């Protein structure tokens, strides 16, 4: 590869999911560009790329587009292997801790508890457009203020359980970082992001969760913020427009070689087939269609033209919580 394309992170500043990726890139010292997006739909920059997927963040490396933070982090670990933050392949215990923490915060309901604890005086929660947008985003979750208020007590309980868990287990022995390392690792990022988001918004009841009740957790969070601040001081902030990204990509190559479609995959899909892909947990109304180029137990990759048909891109999705079907049958597919 003649040159290494610079990653571009499509996000908005207060997205807790996007922070996972921005934190990772910053702690690694990986130079990247930011393409700032509106917090609600539509997002013309991504639509111009040919991406219908509505969740943030999205990362591009060359003409490859990566969706969902779980897959993005895996790809960054692989593409930039020197001094990566994840556990070594030979460290089964470290890998297990990372995966369990990722599942706990991302799929285990902790993030939704943090969402339910968003302070009611934040301007966005009073904006009808934002409320309508998020109402269509979270399947089965109402975003009217009255509905959220009724669930706040249970959300505080679940958040306290999370603080209790870390205080009494992984941090109980006085370690600085969750895997007993000398600096923060991927495990710390996987665990801290919804907690830091809730603390930063002032969402927590100080009578239930505080520096007094959970001193080890709050000290760990303070160390993480300091490490992040130190790393940010060494990074140059580069912000680009969507049109700049699109114009630049036409001169770049794909970041990855085209993969294969696993012939033993239970879905029976074939390489070159026209398929539709969408997330099943949230944002499921926005679906991407393209030619299937890669399918295995980890990811789905489709190839399609940009909106102006200028060039092809490949969109990558994880298998977990995503569905892929022949495009002809996608209209009849139920979640």
Q: Is residue 102 part of a domain?
A: yes
Q: Provide the pLDDT for residue 1.
A: 39
User: Is the preceding peptide bond at 71 cis, omega within 30 degrees of 0?
Assistant: no
Q: Which residue has the tokens 């033209």?
A: 305
Please report whether residue 108 resides in a domain: yes
Residue-level pLDDT at 329 = 80
Exposure string for 211-241, b = 16+ CB within 10 A, e = fewer: eeebebbbebbeebeebbeebeeebeeeebe
Q: Say if 161 falls within a structural domain.
A: yes
Rg (CA), the chain: 20
Burial of 191 (C-beta count, 10 Å sphere; 0-12/13-18/19+): buried
Q: Write down the pLDDT at residue 209.
A: 97
pLDDT of residue 335: 47
Q: Residue 120 — φ and ψ, nearest 5°? A: -75, -10
CA proximity to 189, closest of 23, 324, 78: 23
Beta bridge partners of 239: 34
Q: Is residue 204 part of a domain?
A: yes
Q: What is the pLDDT of residues 227-261, one digit of tens each?
A: 999 999 999 999 999 999 999 999 999 999 999 99
pLDDT < 70 positions in the chain: 1-3, 108, 136-149, 330-335
The residue to which tokens 């910053």 are assigned = 26
Residues 103/292, Cβ–Cβ less than 8 Å = no
Residue 117 is predicted with a pLDDT of 93
The confidence score (pLDDT) of residue 127 equals 80
Asked whether residue 305 is domain-assigned, the answer is: no
| Spatial distance between the Cα atoms of 244 and 57, rounded to a whole number of angstroms | 18
Closest CA to 220 of 163, 263, 154, 145: 163
The pLDDT of residue 315 = 98
Domain extent for 126: 92-226
Q: How many domains in the chain?
A: 1
- Which candidate, 224, 149, 138, places its Cα nearest to that of 189? 224
In order, the DSSP letters of 259-297 are: --B-TT-TT---TT-EEEEEESSB-TT--EEEEEEEESS
Does residue 288 lie within any of the structural domains?
no
Q: Tokens 């970041």 correspond to what residue?
A: 255
Digit-coded pLDDT (tens) for 173-208: 999 999 999 999 999 999 999 999 999 999 999 999
Query: Pairing between strand 312-318 and 64-67?
Result: parallel
CA 128 from centre of chain: 25
pLDDT at 2: 44
Helix (H) or strand (E) holding 302: strand 299-305
The CATH code of the domain that includes 126 is 1.20.1050.10
């Amino acid at each position: 590869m003649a040159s290494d394309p610079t990653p571009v992170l499509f996000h908005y500043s207060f997205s807790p999911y996007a922070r996972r990726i921005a934190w990772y890139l910053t702690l690694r010292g990986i130079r990247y560009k930011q393409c700032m997006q509106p917090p609600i739909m539509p997002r013309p920059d991504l639509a111009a790329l040919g991406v219908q997927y509505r969740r943030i963040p999205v990362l591009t490396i060359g003409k490859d587009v990566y969706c969902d933070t779980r897959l993005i982090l895996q790809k960054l670990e692989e593409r930039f292997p020197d001094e990566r933050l994840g556990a070594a392949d030979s460290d089964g215990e470290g890998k297990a801790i990372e995966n369990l923490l990722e599942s706990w915060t991302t799929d285990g309901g902790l993030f939704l508890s943090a969402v339910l604890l968003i302070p009611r005086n934040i301007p966005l929660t009073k904006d009808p457009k934002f409320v309508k947008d998020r109402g269509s985003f979270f399947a089965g979750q109402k975003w009217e203020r009255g509905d959220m208020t009724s669930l706040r007590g249970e959300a505080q309980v679940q958040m306290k359980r999370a603080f209790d868990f870390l205080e009494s287990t992984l941090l109980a022995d006085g370690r600085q970082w969750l895997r007993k390392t000398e600096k923060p690792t991927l495990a710390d990022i996987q665990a801290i992001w919804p907690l830091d988001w809730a603390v930063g918004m002032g969402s927590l009841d100080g009578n239930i969760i505080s520096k007094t009740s959970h001193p080890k957790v709050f000290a760990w969070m303070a160390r993480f913020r300091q490490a992040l601040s130190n790393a940010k001081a060494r990074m140059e902030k580069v912000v680009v427009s969507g049109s700049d990204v699109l114009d630049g990509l036409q001169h770049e190559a794909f970041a990855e070689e085209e993969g294969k479609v696993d012939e033993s995959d239970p879905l029976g899909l074939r390489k070159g087939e026209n398929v539709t892909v969408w997330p099943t947990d949230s944002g499921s109304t926005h679906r991407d269609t393209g030619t299937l180029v890669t399918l295995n137990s980890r990811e789905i990759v489709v190839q399609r033209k940009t909106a102006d048909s200028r060039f092809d891109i490949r969109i990558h999705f994880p298998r977990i919580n995503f569905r892929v079907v022949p495009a002809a049958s996608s209209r009849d597919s139920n979640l």
